[in-house]
Amino acid sequence: MSLIAPGGCLTPEGLRAVIAAPPGQGPAELVAHLAACERCQTRLLAAGSRNGRAAGPTRSTRLVLLVSVGLLAMLLALVATSLLRG
């Protein structure tokens, strides 16, 4: 069973081999191809997100959440201040 198709891209088995390998320890031939092939990189990212590997929040998502919570706290403080003044 070949991990690289005759056209040069990774087969589905090749993609699974890269996904299953611990970070930094994938099969050298597959990793070398993956570093240069945009099509296989896209396929790997799509497969990884379906497997839950890319499901965590991104840095920008966390930043938006933090800013939103800060703005909400400021709004609540303004409302509380206006209620206390009468």
Quick: pLDDT tens for 40-58: 999 988 886 665 555 566 7
The answer on pLDDT for 79 being more than 90 is yes
For the chain, the domain total comes to 2
Q: Any idea which residue has 């296989």 for tokens? A: 40
Domain that holds residue 60: 56-86
Averaged pLDDT, 7-20: 90
Higher pLDDT, 75 or 44: 75
CA atoms within 13 A on the CB side of 63: 3
Same domain, 9 and 42: yes
Same domain, 3 and 40: yes
Same domain, 11 and 32: yes
The contacts of residue 2 (CB under 8 Å, 6+ apart) are 11, 13, 14
Task: Give the single-character DSSP code of 21.
Answer: S
Task: Give the single-character DSSP code of 84.
Answer: H
Same domain, 2 and 30: yes
Same domain, 60 and 70: yes
- pTM of the entire predicted model: 0.53
How many beta carbons lie within 10 A of that of residue 29, not counting itself? 12
